[in-house]
């Protein structure tokens, strides 16, 4: 009996063991199947493809070629391809369009040859299911289509066609603002009735991979466009503010984050791309840490909280970081390197008169200041005016960062540009210019007291004439700013004498303005005329002591009247903007005309006289004096 019981127990244990083994095998098989399914899904995710492309690039740039001698043609071709790939990978993040295009095309080839077939492409981005596409997906597709047709003008054409430039009212703002919303992007996408080919879909995916691998995130393609600029991290709340116990933000989750902040500067307007985001603080930080790196710009750190640099395409980039700024942010200003003509910039009625005057100011060697707010077009106007300086004159430029790129615009002229560095100050750069055979000095922007002082010194003795930009709002603000710089740098101690020095240097002020709608125009051109402050007293013709005392007292009264007089100069507005066009103002002074004629060629002298007669001749009769 006991043997039977033992037998049954053994059988039961065997059955239980078999069941356990079967259960373990079943679970393992299920786990493997689920792993294969998961892997099959992962291979169509962007992040998976990014990692794969990174690994592939690493292998292609580091692998050793075996089986070939160094004289073999295949070996030589592979080495050449590797060198080209390394060069493009290094240069694509610096603003080089050619290197970027090479890398994006290379990624396209890798995707098509190794990763994504025609049947699988819609698994990566749901091109065939518009309802599943994000706003960024739809915008990227639109950008690919417009770039394919219009190249750098693609974004501008899209904005103009869809009227995205118009202001609109949004919740929380009383006045209309410039913004492009998610709803506008989706409406535009559906209006285009898009049907992409396989190659076009691969191009969209390749761009998405590139912008996270070597590019500048969500703004990568936007930065390539011919717009005035792009910035990020300049609006929205910071995640750390949620931890602020002193001033906590209510309904914090309803506020956009700083990494959801992308703005473009388009035709003088700051436009918010509210549908676009970097996705995370980490991604915004990555973009900020990479976008300024061109030409060994140095390290951005907590001690060095900002960097100003240029990119390979001539764009100016400014990056800031905590604790210097409240959050990570960057600003890219673009200066389109093309043959800019004044008649392309100035088109309002009466522009012919204004353009002619600008041309003659340069040919006549006038010390000219171009003033206005940020984004009003100072740098662009300066680049266009330089065309009308006589080509025989040598140009020396001083900038904080290389923005003008005049040698690319005028490659046959004698031009050399200097900029400030960590080891060479702006003052040292301007001092050096005196020893470089420079005839005309151009200052991209007067931003410090030291540069202001050196500009005044060089305008007096070291160059034929000087052209510079400044942020002064009025002629008075400009004069006071330069005067105060002389006082701060201890060049003068007397305000009146310092002001006299400034107004003796300045000849003309061109003030630019931008209205609320982003329209830019020249508000006025002002001639600055120094008022003589000389006071003379001589006792040679006075024999009586009493007469000498009276004359001395009269001289002292005149002296103190002039010392306490408001301005040491007068402002003559020669052309001004009014009622949508340019109007004729006061005529140029005789002294200015004579000085300008002395610096012009014979042909230009004749044309300048004709211009004066046609513009102001009936009132001032220049034709009789200079004809």
Model confidence at 626, pLDDT cuts 50, 70, 90, reads very low
| Residue-level pLDDT at 565 | 57
| Residue-level pLDDT at 39 | 44
* Number of alpha carbons in the 13 Å side-chain half-sphere of residue 378: 25
Percentage of the chain beyond pLDDT 90 is 45
The arithmetic mean of pLDDT across residues 405-426, rounded, is 83
pLDDT digits (tens, 9 = 90+) for 428-462: 777 787 778 888 988 888 877 877 887 887 777 76
Please determine, for residue 111, whether its predicted confidence score (pLDDT) is greater than 90.
yes
Of 122 and 295, the one with more pLDDT: 122
Percentage of the chain beyond pLDDT 70 is 83
- Give me the DSSP letters along 378-440: HHHHHHHHGGGS-TTS-EEEEESS----HHHHSTTS-EEEEE--SSS-HHHHHHHHTTTT-SE
| Residues 60 and 85: beta-carbon distance below 8 Å | yes
Of 294 and 255, the one with more pLDDT: 294
| Residue-level pLDDT at 84 | 92
Model confidence at 557, pLDDT cuts 50, 70, 90, reads low
| Residue-level pLDDT at 42 | 61
The arithmetic mean of pLDDT across residues 328-354, rounded, is 86
Of 565 and 489, the one with more pLDDT: 489
**Rounded to 10 degrees, what is the CA torsion of 27, 28, 30, 32?**
160
As given in the structure block, the two tokens for residue 549 are: 């005392």
Greatest mean pLDDT among 124-138, 411-425, 461-475, 560-574 lies in 124-138
Alpha helices in 196-243 (DSSP H): 198-213, 220-223
Please determine, for residue 316, whether its predicted confidence score (pLDDT) is greater than 70.
yes
The arithmetic mean of pLDDT across residues 546-567, rounded, is 64
| Residue-level pLDDT at 402 | 75
| Residue-level pLDDT at 344 | 84
pLDDT digits (tens, 9 = 90+) for 221-278: 999 998 989 999 999 888 765 545 545 556 666 778 899 999 999 887 889 999 999 9
- List the single range of 19-33, 251-265, 480-494 with lowest mean pLDDT: 19-33
Whole-angstrom CA distances from 298 to 294, 325, 336, 421 are: 9, 18, 26, 10
How far apart, in whole angstroms, are the C-alpha atoms of residue 131 and residue 206?
22
How far apart, in whole angstroms, are the C-alpha atoms of residue 358 and residue 355?
5
Model confidence at 26, pLDDT cuts 50, 70, 90, reads low
Please determine, for residue 182, whether its predicted confidence score (pLDDT) is greater than 90.
yes
pLDDT digits (tens, 9 = 90+) for 112-162: 998 899 988 999 999 999 999 999 999 999 999 999 999 999 999 999 999
**C-alpha closest to that of 472 among 570, 369, 571:** 369
Please determine, for residue 38, whether its predicted confidence score (pLDDT) is greater than 50.
no
Of 324 and 10, the one with more pLDDT: 324
Whole-angstrom CA distances from 540 to 360, 535, 551 are: 46, 16, 12
| Residue-level pLDDT at 624 | 43
Of 522 and 498, the one with more pLDDT: 522
Radius of gyration for the alpha carbons in the chain, expressed in angstroms and rounded? 34
- How much is the pTM? 0.76
The arithmetic mean of pLDDT across residues 477-494, rounded, is 85
Q: For the chain, give the mean pLDDT.
A: 83
- List the single range of 30-34, 185-189, 389-393, 499-503 with lowest mean pLDDT: 30-34
Of 32 and 207, the one with more pLDDT: 207
| Residues 307 and 300: beta-carbon distance below 8 Å | yes
394 CB contacts (<8 Å, ≥6 apart)?
414, 415, 437, 438, 439, 440
How far apart, in whole angstroms, are the C-alpha atoms of residue 474 and residue 459?
21
| Residue-level pLDDT at 251 | 62
Give the other-Cβ count within 10 Å of 604's Cβ. 19
556 CB contacts (<8 Å, ≥6 apart)?
none
Please determine, for residue 27, whether its predicted confidence score (pLDDT) is greater than 80.
no
Of 37 and 527, the one with more pLDDT: 527
């Amino acid at each position: 009996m006991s043997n039977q019981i033992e037998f049954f127990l053994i059988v039961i244990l065997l059955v239980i063991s078999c069941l356990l083994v079967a259960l373990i095998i079943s679970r393992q098989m299920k786990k493997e199947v689920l792993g294969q399914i998961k892997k099959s899904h992962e291979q169509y995710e962007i992040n998976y493809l990014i990692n794969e492309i990174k690994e592939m690039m690493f292998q292609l740039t580091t692998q050793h070629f075996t089986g070939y001698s160094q004289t073999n043609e295949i070996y030589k071709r592979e080495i050449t391809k590797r060198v080209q790939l390394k060069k493009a990978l290094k240069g694509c993040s610096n603003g080089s369009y050619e290197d970027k295009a090479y890398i994006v095309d290379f990624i396209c080839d890798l995707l098509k040859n190794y990763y994504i077939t025609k049947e699988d492409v819609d698994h990566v981005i749901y091109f065939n299911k518009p309802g599943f596409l994000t706003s960024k997906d739809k915008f990227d597709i639109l950008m690919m289509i417009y770039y394919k047709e219009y190249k750098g003008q693609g974004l501008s054409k899209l904005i103009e066609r869809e009227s995205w430039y118009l202001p609109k009212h949004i919740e929380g703002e009383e006045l209309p603002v410039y913004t492009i919303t998610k709803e506008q992007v989706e409406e535009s996408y559906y209006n285009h009735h898009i049907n992409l080919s396989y190659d076009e879909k691969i191009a969209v995916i390749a761009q998405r991979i590139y912008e996270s691998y070597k590019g500048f995130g969500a703004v990568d393609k936007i930065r390539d466009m011919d717009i005035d600029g792009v910035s990020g991290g300049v609006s929205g709340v910071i995640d750390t503010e949620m931890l602020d116990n002193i001033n906590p933000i209510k309904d914090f989750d309803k506020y956009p984050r700083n990494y959801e902040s992308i703005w473009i500067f388009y035709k003088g307007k700051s436009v918010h791309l509210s549908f676009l985001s970097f996705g995370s603080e980490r991604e915004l930080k990555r973009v900020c840490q990479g976008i300024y790196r061109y030409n060994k710009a140095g390290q951005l750190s907590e001690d060095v909280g900002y960097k100003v640099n240029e990119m390979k395409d001539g764009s100016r980039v400014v990056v800031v970081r905590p604790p210097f700024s409240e959050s990570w942010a960057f600003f890219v200003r673009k200066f389109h390197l093309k043959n800019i003509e004044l008649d392309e910039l100035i088109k309002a009625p009466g522009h012919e008169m204004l353009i002619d005057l600008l041309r003659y100011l340069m040919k006549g060697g006038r010390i000219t200041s171009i003033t206005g707010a940020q984004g009003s077009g100072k740098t662009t106007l300066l680049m266009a005016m330089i065309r009308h300086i006589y080509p025989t004159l040598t140009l020396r430029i001083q900038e904080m960062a290389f923005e003008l790129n005049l040698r690319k615009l005028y490659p046959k002229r004698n031009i050399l540009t200097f900029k400030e560095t960590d080891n060479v100050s702006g003052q040292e750069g301007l001092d050096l210019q005196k020893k470089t055979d420079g005839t005309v000095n151009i200052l991209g922007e007067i931003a410090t007291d030291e540069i202001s002082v050196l500009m005044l010194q060089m305008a007096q003795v070291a160059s034929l004439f000087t052209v510079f930009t400044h942020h002064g709002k009025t002629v008075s603000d400009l004069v006071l700013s330069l005067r105060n710089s002389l006082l701060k740098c201890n060049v003068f101690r007397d305000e009146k004498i310092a002001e006299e020095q400034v107004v003796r240097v300045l000849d003309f002020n061109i003030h630019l303005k931008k209205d609320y709608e982003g329209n830019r125009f020249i508000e006025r051109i002002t001639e600055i005329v120094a008022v003589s402050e000389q006071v003379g007293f001589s006792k040679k013709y006075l024999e009586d002591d009493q007469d000498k005392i009276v004359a001395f007292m009269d001289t002292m009264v005149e002296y103190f009247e002039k010392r306490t007089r408001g301005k040491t100069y007068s402002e003559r507005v020669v052309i001004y903007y009014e009622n949508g066009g340019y109007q004729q103002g006061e005529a140029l002074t005789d002294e200015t005309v004579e000085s300008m004629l002395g610096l012009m060629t014979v042909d230009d002298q004749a044309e300048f006289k004709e211009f004066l007669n046609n513009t102001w001749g009936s009132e001032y009769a220049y034709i009789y004096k200079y004809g």
